[in-house]
Amino acid sequence: MSAPPNLLTSRFGDGLATGPDLAAAAESAVTQALAPLDGQRPDVLCVFVCGDDPAMVEVAGTRAMEVTGARTILGSSAGGVIGAGRGVEGIPAVSAFAACLPGVRCTPFHLELVRTLDGAAVIGMPDRRDDDAVAVLLADPFTFPVADFVQRSHDDLTGLPLIGGVASGPRGGESARLFLDGRSVPAGAVGVVLGGPLAARMVVSQGCRPIGPPMIVTKAEGNVLLELAGMPALAKLEQIIGGLPADDRPAAVRGLQVGVAMDEYAEQHERGDFLIRGVVGADPQRGAIAIGDVVEVGRTVRFQVRDASAADEDLKELFTRYRAEAGPVGGALLFSCNGRGATMFPSADHDVQAVRAGLDTTGVAGFFAAGEIGPVAGHNYLHGFTASILVFGADDA
């Protein structure tokens, strides 16, 4: 029996099922996700499918959409799925996330890349409304310019936060599948804009800890750092690594990153104040370091280390900060990099268990993404090796 309208409350559920019969797994995962809703019709249901055959992935996604009864449904294929306190990678599995969001406006969308006389353009984004809070975005990287769209989104979408992940298919190329409101979408990106009285916040864990001091870029060419604090960049890096305890040096070499400060006017730059980008090469002859982004002269950067210990510590610190600033949590959507899971941690369960424990909640589901979307310092970015989390508050948040 459905709850009377005046008794509707925010509720969240999650589910996960494995097995070679993906359609049956989809039904099971959805049934699990709907159980905590106490008969309420979900406003949003997300479904994520991992399978060996794109056709069977499509069947599973379609079956999941058929049995939900949700007002808005979206999902994708993935290399692994998350739900019911578990992460499952590389085997047939389906996860589901259900949310009842009374009073929240849910506007689904399908983005497509079209060719025009003036070049390429993305169509399908709903008109911006003043009370839009966040858009969940799932993208196929082979048919949609996700990196460019996310980079331009702050201006094009007038500051609308984006969170989500990049889909992947079992056979690479264009074998990814997207799902939206009862149909399989062959290309582009799908999502939903949530607006109105939504109690939700975004947590983006880039999984790094800083090493060495913050430094000003004093000479650079594009994505090549030539000088840091007036010293050849490579020599400065060698100096920093040489000053680390001996036990920390191997991790610094294996997981070296660069953080670019997002607020040049901050009195101090600590963990969480940087956009993390990878170190992609070095030129000993020029004493230079190449990184995965363009950094202008005058920007503040700081070297970072990414490993399992740093990633675990970063999540815990972010959740501690969240609990100090926000109210009780009802549920969460989790987009974790496919380079995390069992590749980074002892178990693929790490991130979902960390979210459930750190935020004291259940109703957590998502997938292992081929790129994670989430805001840092108010701007949207496409990340790697990151956990991007949309945290929904409970009714009394």
pLDDT in tens, 205-231: 999 999 999 999 999 999 999 999 999
Phi, psi of 111 (to 5 degrees): -95, 140
CA R_g for the chain: 21
Top CATH class of 212-247+256-306 equals mainly beta
Domains of the chain by residue range: 5-205+313-393, 212-247+256-306
pLDDT in tens, 243-292: 999 888 888 888 899 999 987 767 676 666 799 999 999 999 999 999 99
| pLDDT exceeds 50 at position 3 | no
pLDDT in tens, 288-321: 999 999 999 999 999 999 999 999 999 999 999 9
Beta-bridged to residue 219, according to DSSP, are 227
Here the tokens at position 15 are: 């589910």
Residue type, 163: I
